[in-house]
């Protein structure tokens, strides 16, 4: 009887510790949302700047844990203007709620007329 109790206790302890590790990883992970926009050759600079400003304003939301943006400088895409926007969230719920911010809808109104292509990727950060 003692051996059964000891085995059960060890098994329960392992499950408990394993569960703690999974929760720690999930709580410390960030959900990255990456948007890469290829602009049309004739896209007005003020429209591109307006889009950058919308992303910058959205990044001030308390739902956003980190934000970066930049212009692609790869020599593979010479002559093509691509802007990259990377927004990080603590949870999927935060990202879903971010999409409900009224300013978020402006992204599409500004970007669709001047975009040739848009690539989006979401992933959990593994370090």
CATH at residue 66: 3.30.70.100
> What is the chain's mean pLDDT, rounded?
86
Q: What is the pLDDT of residue 23?
A: 45
Residue 20 lies in a domain: no
Question: Can you tell me the distance from the alpha carbon of 30 to that of 27, in angstroms, rounded to the nearest whole number?
Answer: 8
pLDDT computed for residue 27 by the predictor: 60
Indicate the number of domains in the chain.
Answer: 1
Residue 5 pLDDT more than 50? no
Domain that holds residue 116: 29-124
Closest of 26, 97, 92, 98 to residue 60, by C-alpha: 98
| 15, part of any domain | no
Question: Does residue 24 surpass a pLDDT of 60?
Answer: no
Give the model's pLDDT for residue 99. 96
Predicted TM-score (pTM) of this structure: 0.76
pLDDT at 79 over 80: no
- Mean pLDDT for 54-80 is 93
pLDDT 10s digits, 111-120: 999 999 999 9
3 in a structural domain:
no
- Runs of H (alpha helix) within the chain: 2-28, 45-58, 92-98, 102-111
């Amino acid at each position: 009887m003692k051996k059964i109790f000891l085995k059960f206790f060890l098994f329960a302890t392992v499950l408990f510790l394993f569960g703690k590790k999974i929760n720690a990883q999930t709580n410390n992970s960030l959900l990255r949302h990456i948007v890469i926009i290829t602009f049309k050759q004739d896209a007005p600079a003020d429209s591109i700047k307006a889009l950058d400003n919308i992303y910058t304003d959205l990044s001030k939301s308390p739902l956003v844990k980190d934000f970066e943006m930049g212009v692609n400088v790869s020599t593979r895409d010479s002559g093509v203007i691509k802007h990259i926007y990377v927004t990080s969230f603590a949870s999927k719920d935060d990202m879903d709620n971010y999409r409900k911010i009224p300013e978020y809808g402006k992204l599409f109104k500004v970007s669709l007329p001047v975009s040739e292509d848009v690539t989006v990727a979401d992933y959990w950060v593994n370090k």
